[in-house]
Amino acid sequence: MTQLDVAGVSKEYPTPSEPLRILRDLSLSLSAGENVAVVGPSGSGKSTLLHILGTLDTATSGSVTLDGIDPFSLSDQELADYRNQNIGFIFQEHYLLPQLSVLENVLVPTLAKGNPTAEQIELAKELIERVGLADRQNHRPAEISGGERQRVAVARSLIMDPLLLLADEPTGSLDRNNASSVAELLIELQTTDQKMLVVVTHSSSISDLLQRQLLLDDGQLKSMNKVE
């Protein structure tokens, strides 16, 4: 069943002359357990698309529905709650808080609703174990490696049990070995937990790990033939 449905989305930025058109009548559907890579040159609108999917930005026209809900029909507070509960983000930078432990960092998204519950603390520990950091739970970000920090960011993206994971160059700051192992881990967790995942990447060795490869070109997503 389709859970993410993007239909006819356009995004324009006003300029003194004619509007700058970034996305043009763009469509995309995803079902639970599906993942897709979005590739394209710098400035092609990949981050703009992820921000719209993540409800951090609005489209100029078109519709986005996630689990049957149009997030843009919600009030600001409802939208913030909706995003917190349904969408997990992973960025190129880990954005871990330096003064917090690994465990506390994974729990940060739960703080929107007050103190984490005992159940959420258990889930955080389980996620930390699944990303291979059980023995690093009480370390601070400065005390673990770059690849490990990004694994913590992966665990944090899953703590609210979201429907949709959005990753913008999630391995862009890592060396090649760490990049593949973080990407493999992200995909393994996403497929096991039947989440939807959109990964923006420059790297063909990362995009090849995903089920579908789409090129963002001239404001639209185009299917790419996988090189065998």
Residue span binding ligand ADP (CB under 6 A) among the ranges 36-44, 63-71, 122-130, 207-215: 36-44
Which listed option, ligand ADP, Mg ion, none, makes contact with residue 22 (CB within 5 to 8 Å by class)? ligand ADP
- 44 touching ligand ADP, by CB under 6 A: yes
Residue 66's beta-bridge partner residues? 4, 69
Strands 196-200 and 35-39: parallel
Find the farthest-apart pair of alpha carbons in the chain and give their distance in angstroms, rounded: 57
CA nearest neighbour of 166 among 73, 57, 69, 35: 35
- 222 touching ligand ADP, by CB under 6 A: no
Q: Are 166 and 49 in contact (CB under 8 A)?
A: no
SS3 (DSSP) at 221: strand
Locate 175 and state its tokens: 């060396």
The H or E element containing residue 89 is strand 87-90
- 207 touching ligand ADP, by CB under 6 A: no
The DSSP letter of residue 200 is: E
Which listed option, Mg ion, ligand ADP, none, makes contact with residue 120 (CB within 5 to 8 Å by class)? none
- 171 touching ligand ADP, by CB under 6 A: no
Residue span binding ligand ADP (CB under 6 A) among the ranges 43-51, 74-82, 140-148, 219-227: 43-51
48 versus 201: smaller Cβ distance to ligand ADP? 48
- 42 touching ligand ADP, by CB under 6 A: yes
Q: Name the site residues for ligand ADP (rule: CB under 6 A).
A: 13, 20, 22, 40, 42-48
